[in-house]
Structure 1
């Protein structure tokens, strides 16, 4: 049945229909602000014993967080990395990882749970509606915000409830210790390992021969032409009867400190007397490791006697004690004292006088 022909005056009155069917009448403003419901105080607002009990609960959570942090550190120190435990339903898992995960989770959870419980039971829960306003606040609004902050701080009890305040500060101060302890996994402390190289076994009575990096043969001074650059490594020694070999398990670690750069310069072109005294007939032995970030130096300009690091362009004058003349390197290249043995082969009689490679905190020079 169509209603297209029904006139407007015959339509039922909306208000009357609503009233006739028991429905609420349509309000004049359907989008009116209904306002906030009446505030109902919490038990902790009216019962001081309940408030004190909530305070102890919050403090207990913060104290539990501190104990969990201590447990994290103790687990890291006491539990061996290869120890396994059976955890249902996970099966056999690393005891160390499980202990670290659980203790850190408890430490962080208790801080969060304590903060939430504090806010829900002891901080003010009075709702304060505010009209929308422009992004830029006027002086009156800013003053009101500052006052609200002060009021909120006072109502939170942060200054008055010292037990909560102290335990919260303690738990939050201790949690970062878990991260500090993990720095141990960066590796063992270097102790004096960075101060010395494989050349430390060289002495005047037991020198170590310089071996060509490419041919694996010892070298004589006449093997090096004027202006040439050759790379060398340690030969046989007490701890390495066959010298430093590519097949050695620690080859990469050792060569990162022991690698040498041999250059032969006309004696009259040498500018530094101390550097000249450490060489032999114009043959000088410098560390190949750049003193900036440890890149291997391999570029040499024979006319200027400059060695260039390809990583960041640090430039060293090998005729002047390998001093830095350009780039970010902070120290000259360490020089190795060399001479010849009874057979005329180039040998080292002592270790570098300063640590090779980049600077580090414990470096003495």
Structure 2
């Protein structure tokens, strides 16, 4: 703060009054009694250790209790929800109590009076602030109290493991394939060698001779309709929806001479019939807008355009990679079948997928 005279001369700010009216400082027991100080230190460390224990119990509960466990508690809440919520809440609570107890019992406890100053601090004020911060760090005891420092860091680190562990519930990892035969995992679909291609919705198999040049058809693998010896569907519920979403297929017939076979794909077609994933490689929209004369397939969401005559190559739009092509053949009865699964993941790209 400064005072300006009529001659625009700057005078130094007045000093604060000697006695601002604060009551006499009262010392805490931990300030004057070393045993009380050590006892408070152990109490704070105890809260941090309790937080670590709760974090460990959270991790144990995550694997011990299954979602939907029949064991019920108050309010008919499952054991998993109760155990995870209780242990996470207590872990965070103990960290908070420990920090508050540390501040009230062991950190510096003095009254400060400081003058108001301009918003733009001088270099001297900044140096003073840094020095005050260093004093505060010293008075907090974080450097000379390794027990408190280490238990506090351990409690915060253990607590951080809990939300990280919950990331597992967001879905399977790209390499986490539980059942390849049922198309589980991002790198597999329901297509396999000999799997018949059937019409979407009605589920009838497709003879290669039934398709005329220019015909486009939405298709699915026959396993979606397969039943066991008891007449029950092999796939049902979520397995059907997930399998169908990844295995959706586009069939298009064109003149064989129009096809530009990619390297190693010379035998992936049948008399001008090509098969591609129906899922756009940009953000996963289903696509089927066909330009008959150019053999271009257009995504309605963001106008990515793929050339089905040239290995699904991107010719326009934000999609970054070609549409995956399914190798096809005909079986002994003349029906269209898959030669194998897709040789690359379908749908939008992700960081671990093959760059081919």
TM range (shorter): 0.7 to 0.9
CA RMSD of aligned residues (A): 2.7
Q: Is 2:271 the counterpart of 1:287?
A: no
Structure 2 match to 1:277: 267
Instruction: Confirm whether residue 351 of structure 1 aligns to residue 341 of structure 2.
Output: yes
- 2:211 aligned with 1:224, yes or no? yes
Structure 2, unmatched stretches of 5+, are 1-17
Cα deviation per residue 1:317-337 (whole Å; 9 max; x = unaligned)?
111111222333333222222
Per-residue Cα deviation, 1:177-208 (whole angstroms, up to 9, x for no partner)? 111222233345542523222221x3xxxx33
How far off its partner does 1:248 sit?
A: 4.6
Q: In the TM superposition, what is the alpha-carbon distance from 1:176 to its structure 2 partner?
A: 1.0
TM-score in terms of structure 2 length? 0.82
Distance 1:215 1:237, change over 3 A: closer
Distance 2:66 2:331 in 1: 50
**Residue in structure 1 matched with residue 47 of structure 2 by the alignment:** 61
Within 2, Cα distance between the matches of 1:237 and 1:174?
45
Residues 105 and 237 of structure 1, relative CA distance in 2, 3 Å threshold: closer
Residues 265 and 283, structure 1, Cα contact 8 Å, conserved in 2: yes
* Alpha-carbon separation, structure 2, partners of 1:156 and 1:277: 74
What is the alpha-carbon distance in structure 2 between the residues aligned to residue 215 and residue 166 of structure 1?
65
2:12 aligned residue: none
Residue equivalent to 2:221? 234
SS of 2:155's partner is helix
Shift of 1:237: 9.0
Which residue in 2 is equivalent to 1:306?
296
**1:275 and 1:335 in contact (8 A); partners too:** no
Query: Aligned ranges for residues 1-365 of structure 1 at < 5 Å?
Result: 34-81=20-67, 82-86=69-73, 90=74, 92-187=76-171, 190-191=176-177, 192=180, 193=184, 194-200=186-192, 202=193, 207-213=194-200, 215-235=202-222, 240=227, 248-249=236-237, 250-273=239-262, 274-360=264-350, 363-364=353-354
CA distance in 2, matches of 1:77, 1:214: 40
Separation of aligned partners in 2, 1:91 and 1:251: 34
Are 1:276 and 1:282, in contact at CA under 8 Å, matched by a contact in 2?
no
Q: Is the 8 A contact 1:280 1:338 kept in 2?
A: yes
Q: Structure 1 residues 56, 214: closer, same or farther in 2, change over 3 A? A: closer
SS at match of 1:51: helix
Q: Give a deviation string over 1:26-65, Cα, whole Å, max 9, x none.
A: xxxxxx9852112122121111121111111111111111
Could you say if the C-alpha distance between residues 363 and 46 of structure 1 is closer, same or farther in structure 2, counting changes exceeding 3 Å? Answer: same
Structure 2 Cα separation of the partners of residues 55 and 167 of structure 1: 11
Cα separation, 2, equivalents of 1:288 and 1:80:
36
1:57-111 Cα deviation digits (max 9, x unpaired): 111111111111111111221123314354xxx4554222222222222211111
Please state how far the C-alpha of 1:241 moved relative to its aligned partner: 6.9
Shift of 1:259: 1.5
Is the contact between residue 328 and residue 339 of structure 2 (CA under 8 Å) also seen in structure 1?
Answer: yes
Counterparts of 1:70 and 1:160, CA distance in 2: 28
Structure 1 portions without partners, runs of 5+:
1-31
SS in 1 for 2:309: helix
* Counterpart position of 2:7: none
Q: Secondary structure at the match of 2:22?
A: coil
Shift of 1:214: 5.2
Q: In the alignment, is the contact (CA less than 8 A) between 2:190 and 2:223 conserved in 1?
A: no
Q: Is the 8 A contact 1:209 1:347 kept in 2?
A: yes
* CA distance in 1 between partners of 2:267 and 2:44 (Å): 73
